[in-house]
Amino acid sequence: MRFTVAELLKLPDISGIRLAAGASGVENEISRTNIMDNPDTFDWLIAGEFLLTTGYIFKDDEDMQRSIVRRLAEIHCAGMGLKVRRYFAKTPDCMVEEADRLGFPLVELPFGHSLSTVGSMINERLYIRDDERMSQALSIHRDLTKAALKSGGLSEIARVAVGFIRNPILIFDSGWHLLAWQEYPGNPLPLGSNIPLKRKEAALPKEFTDSMPPELEMFRKPIARRLPLPGGSQPLCRVMPVGGGDGSLYGYIVIWETVHTMDAADYAALEHVSISVAMERVRAREIEEIKHRISRDFFDDLLSGAIESISAARSLAEAHGLKWNAKYRCVLVRHTNSDKEDQLINHQKYADCCNLAAEICKKAAKAIKIHIVMVPHSYQTIFLAEQPEASGEAVDAIRQFAETLLEELEKAFDPREIIIAIGASSPDIMRITESYSDAQKTMRLARGWDNPERIIYADDYAAFRLLDKFVEPQQLREFTRKSIGSLIDWDKENGSDLVRTLSCYFSFSGNMSEAAKFMFIHRNTYIYRMEKIKGILKNDFANPHKLLEYQLALLAMRIAGQE
């Protein structure tokens, strides 16, 4: 049973109600009522709603008066009821003009009835349709349940959904990557001809997704947006967030409203589809989490050297995408300089950063045509990069990959925070733990040292590995004290920064201009500090053996954790 604007005008309980404009739209069906008290209401409206307002928000703005009529007609609202003799003696002429042009009903509500009273009267008529709506809802629920039981995933849900909504449908994850879609017969703007349909990739322009309200995940019904296409067409899209009861956002459903103007029944169906999509996303996440946990456990054992059986390591490695007879280098990527406590507090934000870094790594590897295997990890990006057979090509490929990766990472993260550490080559899978250890130690060294390089190779730090492996920490501390102890003491007593000044001197191969720039001080200041260092150490830096000693002392200080 339909309840239209024409029937609203005939209600005997609302004496004085009259049609002010838009007579050609009086057969519009009313599905529910809503009250407009601020301009943001547009994002909450759906087709078929009858809007009630006093007009306060647009009483002094003619442009807004025209715009509101156009927007409501575009969203396919049933009509608008304006309470007169409050802020308007009658419906503004500009609104009458727009409404007649668009066939959008404008109804004048008598002053003696409150908006809530009018809304209640309309809702009483709408309750009559509840039995019919319930029957339809059960049918939708039954068909979507069958789709879920078929294990067809989101594609099967989308196929069933278009049968009820009668428009093409697209399903995205929370990052607007396309997961599934379904065309509808007779679509004048075919999906495949107007947007790229590739799973797990962006299908809609960034300008469109950026136009969504920042609090969209809190909405429980779709919002309307026009999508500009290259050919000039602008199909109306209904964007429905897919959320969980715990506030989680699982993605978005986009209805491409080009075949059928959605009505109340379609919106009811869309709500059921949203629930089915949320359940499917939860199921998929749980499966992925199990896979992730299994993979993480394997790689943790592999990188720690806990797998002692060669046959077990071989079969497990092949199951996780590693080639048993290939050589690999372990690569660590740090993209943000946050401590562990901050990572725990902002877990989701940090996890999103790690996922973004992982995607960038995959694209860089694909561009260089190098095979990599991602290693699941919570707080850093780790992967194993396969080396080409020829030794010369191996070095070139790894370096080219690292440079490409750095270039892409710098577009997404703060370049000052990015460090890529590349471990030594492992002769076989069983010894990959050595490459991982090399990369870890080199990363730790780079984070604690004034190193201008963003890409660091363990192969270039043979002296570091030698001292770390064969010299006891106490011996390293004693060597540091004997060599540059006077400089360390000077810094502690005077609050100066001479040890770091000396470190930068070696990092920039004696180039004082570049070292000063790195430390954000004037070149003359840097030269003065170096002269001060020479005086404290009682050395004019002319003896290359003493220079080597100072470099080793700085290195030993970092390894031993001495400040």
pLDDT digits (tens, 9 = 90+) for 200-245: 899 999 999 988 887 777 777 788 889 999 888 999 999 999 886 6
Give me the residues paired with residue 50 across strands: 33, 79
Amino acid identity for residue 173 in this structure? D
**pLDDT value of position 243:** 81
Q: What angle do CA 194, 159, 138 make, to 5 degrees?
A: 135
Which CATH class, in words, describes the domain spanning 5-129? alpha beta
**pLDDT value of position 451:** 61
Q: Is the pTM of this model over 0.95?
A: no
Tell me how far apart the alpha carbons of residues 33 and 81 are, in angstroms, rounded to a whole number. 10
**pLDDT value of position 135:** 56
Q: Going by CATH, does the domain composed of 321-461 fall within 3.30.70.1230? A: yes
C-alpha to C-alpha distances, 311 to 58, 386, 436, nearest whole angstrom: 76, 21, 21
CATH topology of domain 471-560: Arc Repressor Mutant, subunit A (1.10.10)
**pLDDT value of position 392:** 53
Closest of 180, 178, 177, 173 to residue 158, by C-alpha: 180
Closest of 304, 315, 294 to residue 432, by C-alpha: 304
pLDDT in tens, 480-523: 889 998 999 999 999 999 998 998 888 888 899 988 998 889 99
Q: Where are the alpha helices (DSSP H) in 308-458?
A: 310-319, 340-345, 347-368, 391-412, 432-448
**pLDDT value of position 379:** 63
Q: Where are the domains of the chain?
A: 5-129, 150-285, 321-461, 471-560
Burial class (CB in 10 A: 0-12, 13-18, 19+), 230: exposed
111 near 83, Cβ under 8 Å?
yes
- Do the domains 150-285 and 321-461 sit in the same CATH topology, yes or no? no
**pLDDT value of position 141:** 60
Closest of 414, 475, 409, 464 to residue 439, by C-alpha: 464
CATH code: domain 150-285 is 3.30.450.40
Phi-psi sector, 251: left (phi>0), alpha (psi -120 to 50), beta: left
- Please give the chain's pLDDT, 563 residues, in tens: 678 999 999 888 888 899 999 999 999 988 888 888 776 767 777 888 899 999 888 888 999 999 999 999 988 899 999 998 888 889 999 999 999 999 999 999 988 888 888 888 888 777 665 555 555 555 666 666 666 656 668 888 888 888 888 999 999 998 899 999 999 999 999 999 999 999 989 999 999 998 888 777 777 778 888 999 988 899 999 999 988 666 678 889 999 999 998 877 788 788 888 888 888 888 887 877 787 788 888 888 888 888 878 787 778 888 888 887 788 888 888 876 655 545 444 565 666 777 788 888 888 888 888 888 888 766 678 888 888 765 555 567 888 888 888 888 888 888 878 888 888 888 878 888 888 888 888 777 766 556 667 888 887 776 776 777 677 888 888 888 899 989 999 999 999 999 989 988 888 888 999 889 988 899 999 999 999 999 999 988 888 888 888 888 888 887 776 54
Q: What is the largest CA-CA distance in the chain?
A: 106
Beta strand segments in 321-433, E: 328-334, 372-375, 381-386, 419-422
* DSSP structural state of residue 380: S
